[in-house]
Amino acid sequence: MTVPGTCALCLSSGVILQVSHIVPAWVNRKLREKTAKSGDPVTVARGKAIQTSKQETEHMLCVDCEQIIGRWERYVARLASHEDGTPHTFPRLPLPEQLGTKTTANVELADLSSMDVDQIVRFAASVIWRADTAATLQGRGSALGPYAEALRGFLNGDRPSPANVTILMAVLDPNLGENDGRARGFCQMAAFPVSTNNGLFHSHMFGVCGLYFQILIGNKIPGQLRALCLAHGRQDVALVLYPPDIELFRRAERLFKAASPKGKLMLRGPKEP
């Protein structure tokens, strides 16, 4: 279906809007590889679990902007986990002194100095911005508030990344803890963008195939996190985390276990973790 309108990114009017994926299409392809024997990946929404190839999409971008975002997506796709859940191999670095405490036994650092970090930053920002823009277009409101426009301007090349926005990336590594089916399963999962507010700052996060991204917004973000920001901090490191330590994936697991199976899943018997 042809849908004319105004591009949500470059604001060009009278263009044909593309069907834009909120989470990249390659994520679904990787999940289909993982579930090759059982078919499509399982999606959980509104308390129901269903096996489907459908992804969240919205008519929002012109063809030029769609292609620009596609370049960022393809770059990050090469950094995602392999089909069996093993992570992409990143060189490791020693923890900085402010993180090197006994409370961070399951934390390491990955060296990104040989990578195009700007593409990673723009990929992370674009997924959060697209999810927020789609919610606004669908009448569900904006979690980003005024920062939606700030991120749009950054992604469109009109302005730098806002100073009080911290963009973090983490690589999931099941070998940092008990390398069991649950830990590896989290590396083969996609978690749609969600937003939280801890009273000090807002956190917008999502996970795709062994990678975890956070965009923190506010003036009270802890200094040790700001120091790891890919846009304003060291700009050459990512955290390496044990998957079950991340609340976003534990939340997705809880939602899956509580969901009612529908369609083909009803014929498969008890849920597998």
Q: Answer whether 214's CB lies under 8 Å from 238's CB.
A: no
Q: What is the pLDDT along the chain (273 residues), one digit of tens a residue?
A: 679 999 999 999 999 999 999 888 888 777 766 555 556 666 666 666 566 666 788 999 999 999 999 999 999 999 987 766 677 889 998 887 666 544 456 889 999 999 999 999 999 999 999 999 988 877 777 789 889 999 999 999 999 998 899 999 999 998 888 878 888 888 888 888 889 999 999 999 999 989 999 999 999 999 989 999 999 888 899 999 999 999 999 988 888 788 777 665 554 554 444
Q: What is the pTM assigned to this prediction? A: 0.87
Question: Is the backbone of residue 199 left (phi > 0), alpha (psi -120 to 50) or beta?
Answer: left
State the number of CA atoms in the 13 A half-sphere of 234 facing the CB.
19
